[in-house]
Copies of this chain bind each other. A is one copy, B any other.
Amino acid sequence: MPKKTFFNLSSDKKNRIIDAAIDEFADKTFHRAKITNIIENADISPGSFYQYFEDKRDLYKYLLSLLAQKKMDYINQDLMLNTEEYNFFYLLKELYQSGLKFARENPRLLLISNKLINEDSELYREIIGDNKVRSEEFFYKIIEEGVNSGEIRSDIDLKLLSKILSSMFIAMAEYIYKEKMLYFNDMSVIDNIIDIIKNGIKNNNTFYEEGKK
C-alpha cells in the first residue's frame, strides 16, 4: 500500500501519478514498465516517488487493488449476495453486462491485470497471494445452484463449465479493448452469447450424422 504521504497529496497530483502509472503498466509488462517513465509523465522527482510508495511493486499492487475496488462498483451488490434468489441465466447476463461496462469504461486498467498472469510465477504468487481465483469460484457456485434448481442440465462437468464461462467473460473484455469497442457496442451481443450458452449452436430442426457429410 502507498505510504500516507501519498494520500495526503492534492487529488490533482494523485491523479497525475495514477494516470501515468496506469498508462505505463497497461502498455508494458511489470518488469518492462519503468518508474522513470511514470515519474517523468507525472512530473515528479524520483525522491518524491519513493516518499509515496515503498517501491515499484507497491505501486503495482496499489493499481491492482484500485482495479478490484472499481470493479465492485459496477456490480449489483444485491445480486452478488443473494444469488440463490435469482435464476441462473439472469445472473449470468447481469454479470456479463457489468463486466463489459467496466471493461469499456476502464480498458487500460483491465490490461494491467491481464498481463500479470504471464509474469514470472514468483511475482504472480506474491501479488495474488492465497486469494483463490475468485471469479471462477463464483461461477462454480452459481452453476451449482442452477443445476440444483433444475435450470441447468445435470450431466455437465461443473468445474469445466465454470472455467469456460469465466474464460468467455475475459475473452469478451479483451476483445472489447482490442476492437476498440466498435464491435461490441451494444448489449444485444450479450444476449447472443447467453443464448448460445443456453441453447447451444446446433440447429435442432435438422438431423446430421457424425463424420463425413
Which positions in A face B, CB cutoff 8 Å?
27-29, 31-32, 84-87, 89-90, 114-115, 117-121, 149-154, 156-157, 159-161, 163-164, 167-168, 171, 175, 183, 189, 192-193, 195-203, 205-206, 208-213
Contact = CB atoms under 8 A, between A and B. Distances in A.
B183 A29 contact: no
Contacts of A121: 27
A43 to B, nearest CB: 15
A18 B31 CA distance: 24
A210 B84 CA distance: 14
Copies of this chain in the oligomer: 4
B152 A202 contact: yes
Contact of A203 (B32, B151, B202): B151
A35 to B, nearest CB: 15
Contacts of A163: 171, 175
A213 B145 CA distance: 12
Given A87-B213, A213-B149, A28 B201 contact: no
A211 B87 contact: yes
